[in-house]
């Protein structure tokens, strides 16, 4: 990934996490990556691994989410 990619940012809050995740998903989708489905996120041995599920949905929760 490039130095300006979302994974290169320090995330300290849930809001920052949401913004970085949103940017990553939007970028991948805009570039033709099928982001929907399950993703295993493996980390170094001293950190937990994660299982992430991405599901597209219709409708908006509200303008505050944008």
In this prediction, residues 8-32 reach a mean pLDDT of: 93
pLDDT of 9: 74
Average pLDDT over residues 41-60: 91
Regarding pTM above 0.85, the answer is no
Cα→Cα distances 15→11, 19, 21, 38, Å? 9, 6, 10, 22
Phi (first) and psi of residue 57, to 5 degrees: -135, 155
Mean per-residue pLDDT of the chain = 85
Q: Is the pLDDT score of 59 beyond 60?
A: yes
- Upper half-sphere CA count for residue 18 (Cβ side, 13 Å): 6
What pLDDT shows up at residue 6?
A: 54
Q: Return the sign of the alpha-carbon dihedral for residues 56, 31, 8, 51.
A: positive
């Amino acid at each position: 990934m490039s130095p300006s990619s979302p994974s290169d940012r320090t995330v300290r809050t849930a809001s920052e996490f949401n913004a970085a995740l949103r940017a990553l998903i939007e970028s991948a989708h805009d570039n033709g990556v099928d982001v929907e489905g399950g993703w295993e996120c493996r980390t170094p041995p001293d950190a937990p691994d994660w299982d992430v599920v991405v599901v597209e949905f219709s409708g908006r929760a509200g303008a505050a989410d944008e």
